Amino acid sequence: MSRYAAMFDQLAARGEGAFGAFLVLGDPDLATSAALLDAVVEGGADMVEVGIPFSDPVADGPVIQAAAQRALAAGVRVADCFALISGFRARHPAIPLGILTYANIVVARGGFIADAAQAGADSLLIADMPTLEAEPFVQRMDQAGIDPVLIAAPNTPDATLASITSLSKGYTYCVSRTGITGTHEGGQFDAGLVERLVRLGAPPPVFGFGISAPEHVRAALDAGAAGVICGSAIVDLAARGGDVVNFVHLLKAATLNDKGRNDSRAE
Amino acid sequence: MRLSGRFGRFGGCFVPEILVPALEQLEAAFLDAQDDPAFVAELGDLLTNYAGRPTPLTQCRNLPGNIYLKREDLLHGGAHKTNQVLAQALLARRMGKTRLIAETGAGQHGVATAIAGALLGFETIIYMGAEDVERQQLNVFRMRLMGATVVPVEGGGRTLKDAINEALRDWSASFDTTHYLLGTAAGPHPFPTMVREFQRVIGREARAQILEQLGRLPDAVVACVGGGSNAIGLFADVLDDDVRLIGVEAAGKGLDGDNHGATLLRGRPGILHGAETYVLQDDDGQIADSWSVSAGLDYPAVGPEHAHLKDSGRADYVGATDAEALAAFKALAEKEGILCAFESAHALAHALKLAEQDPEQVILVGLSGRGDKDVAQAERLLA
């Protein structure tokens, strides 16, 4: 069973949603980045999503852009990112880890997909590769044993969601109506999108945009999502030297069901 | 999508999923409009009675060789950009959009978009690298005079590539009301095909004009290539003829260093701004900063059809350095009384080399824009 499947099974049994933490690899340097990966796990992240920095991240808002620029300015290379992932995998054998990056990073390195699988990544999402271009990449990911994750948006038609269902594994990355990371009023989560994905049997829907406070986590789960990924808020907090462990802990706590939350308070 | 959007292995539609429906809507509007006599008539009327088509074909009197210039510098707005901007603006209106966004480098495409926005009543936002805003003040002022909002982009290298990134980000959130009026035959499908079709008028006219003036087709057609829209428009109607096609890239300070915009000559296949094409990049796939004296050629990717024309061998791509372009700019001014854009001067520079090799051959040069925007820079560089 894949790490994602095992995680979703265990969380479902406990009545919890998945909390995913996103960080840009190499931001602001390799040592700090490795420590931040450990910090989000310590805070209680169920899954970790990592960005391999790209010079021209068109799907990202100012916070993630700045993080990628910091990493690149520090001289971080793709090979360094794979080394960070290998290190993470050795320290945290059970936590699912997914890569989020851009198409040119994937095609520029012969064997990127195999290297990602080898380093211990469980999934790969390519932000500027929509479903209609995905098939050749998905075949290579299937061969390498890494889950292809595709993006579903509220304006994505059912025919495309059906393709997402047949092509992707791991989870489905759901975005909100407005297009880029880190620019959202929280709480805008499309229950209709989740419903359509569930009806088609797509991999578990996880909201990737608009999560920066516990109430956003609740709202996303109330919309039917299996989990959430928080990116810009964590990256911004880390850049300002804030307490990432505590922040992740606070957001993770919001994924516990009412019974869980009561238990947690009673402890 | 109804069309493949591919040119051999190049092209495609590499955008975030959320933009795919907007591109599908655009493709449908483009294909439907081409078959709609009312659209064709309105565009034809605008091109003739507003923008000044057909543009002349001028045989050079005093430069060496036998060079003909297709005079897009005389089009309203001062460059070929206006052709396809008017067409896309009509499409935007047809799709019910009320807002136009565009990227611009030197400002020519921004000016053309501001023109269309003013004429057809759109709110118009122009993204422009902060560096370009500083060095192209004249065009910034022109855009603002016509009611456009110019947004300086501070990210990345603060030039054209970063302006495109920012326009794409805007569009990801705004496509319901907004058309992204991309300025060249690059980007995701359907832009490369659509922009080529809307710029085809350059080549169609030039072909008819040279047949009328000379009684035969030229031996070579030469155009500058940044994104590649004026070149693809000039090439489109002679692709099947026995005519050499030559695209001239910005060799900047020299092809052997890092300071150039010669994507087809020095880049390798990759994916940027929605298309698989040649890209200037490092080993990891990080996009390199390009360089050219002409902001319009200062772009690290290129339209995917040019990538295909290169790999298939149908067109040749060469470079002209900043210095060669400046010399051609100066020669055209002194010998023919024409101030051309630095971009167009790259094409002329190569044409002059060809004319030196064989003064008898007939060379058609795409004079894509006029040089007013470059006069201040020329004064400094030629001093």
Choose among B24, B109, B20, B193: nearest CA to A129.
B20
Token pair of A205 as six digits:
């829907």
Which residue in chain B has the smallest CA separation from A112?
A: B284
B-chain CB neighbours of A175 within 8 Å are 17-18
Residue A119 DSSP SS3 = helix
pLDDT bracket for residue A176 (50, 70, 90): confident
Of A56, A109, A156, the CB nearest to B165: A56
**Contacts B11 to A, Cβ<8 Å:** none
Contacts of B35 (CB under 8 A, 6+ apart): none
**Class of residue B257 by CB neighbours under 10 A (exposed 0-12, middle 13-18, buried 19+):** exposed
The answer for A 28-87 residues in CB contact with B (under 8 A) is: 54-59, 61-62, 65, 69, 72, 77-78
**Of residues B13, B18, B285, nearest to A175 (C-beta):** B18
Residue range A86-96: mean pLDDT, rounded: 98
Question: Residue B5 — left, alpha, or beta (φ > 0 → left; ψ -120 to 50 → alpha)?
Answer: left
User: In this structure, is the dihedral angle defined by the CA atoms of residues A112, A118, A121 and A123, taken in order, positive or negative?
Assistant: positive
Distance, in Å, from the CA atom of B337 to the CA atom of B319, rounded to the nearest integer, reads 25
Number of Cβ pairs < 8 A linking chain A and chain B = 112
The length of chain B is 383
B13 at the A interface (CB within 8 A)? Answer: yes
Cis-peptide into A28, omega within 30 deg? yes
pLDDT digits (tens, 9 = 90+) for A211-223: 999 999 999 999 9
pLDDT in tens, A63-74: 999 999 999 999
Please give the ipTM for the structure prediction: 0.96
Instruction: Classify residue B281 by its DSSP letter.
Output: B
Residue of B nearest to A104 (CA): B271
Q: Kindly state the greatest CA–CA separation across chain B.
A: 55
Residue A146: which pLDDT band, with cuts at 50, 70 and 90?
A: very high
Closest-approach residue (CA) in chain B for A69: B156
Query: Residue A184's pLDDT band (boundaries 50, 70, 90)?
Result: low
Instruction: Give the minimum alpha-carbon distance from A192 to chain B in angstroms, rounded to a whole number.
Output: 16
- Residue B20's closest chain A neighbor by CA? A130
What is the nearest CA distance from B220 to chain A, expressed in angstroms? 35
pLDDT in tens, A101-145: 999 999 999 999 999 999 999 999 999 999 999 999 999 999 999
Please say if B224 is a catalytic residue.
no
Q: Is the pLDDT of residue A262 over 70?
A: no
The pair of three-digit structure tokens given for residue B354, joined into one six-digit string: 């060809």
Q: In the prediction, which pLDDT does A266 show? A: 36
Q: What is the pLDDT of residue B67?
A: 98
Mean pLDDT, contiguous 10-residue spans, chain B (383 residues) = 96 97 98 98 98 98 98 98 98 98 95 98 97 89 98 89 95 96 98 98 98 98 98 98 98 96 98 98 96 91 98 98 98 98 97 98 98 92 90
- Cβ distance A61 to B169 less than 8 Å, yes or no, reads yes
Stretch 154-193 of chain B: residues touching chain A, C-beta under 8 Å? 155-156, 161-162, 165, 168-169, 171-173
Q: Can you spell out the DSSP letters for B336-376?
A: H---B-HHHHHHHHHHHHHHHH-TTSEEEEEE-BBSGGGHH
Q: pLDDT at position B336, please?
A: 98
The pLDDT of residue A188? 79
Using CA atoms, how far apart are residues B353 and B358, in angstroms rounded to an integer? 9
pLDDT for the residue B89: 98
The pLDDT of residue B282 is: 97
Stretch A22-44: mean pLDDT: 98
Measured between beta carbons, the chain A residues lying within 8 angstroms of B281 are 104, 108
- Does A121 lie at the interface with B, CB-CB under 8 angstroms? no
- Choosing from B13, B80, B109, B350, which is the catalytic residue? B80
A258 is catalytic: no
Q: For B244, phi and psi rounded to 5 degrees?
A: -70, 135
Confidence tier at A252 by pLDDT (50, 70, 90): very high
**Could you tell me the sign of the dihedral formed by the alpha carbons of B145, B146, B151, B157, in that order?**
negative
End-to-end CA, chain A: 32
Amino acid of residue B72: E
- Rounded Cα gap, residues B277 and B266, in angstroms: 12
Out of A49, A80, A147, A190, which one is annotated catalytic?
Answer: A49
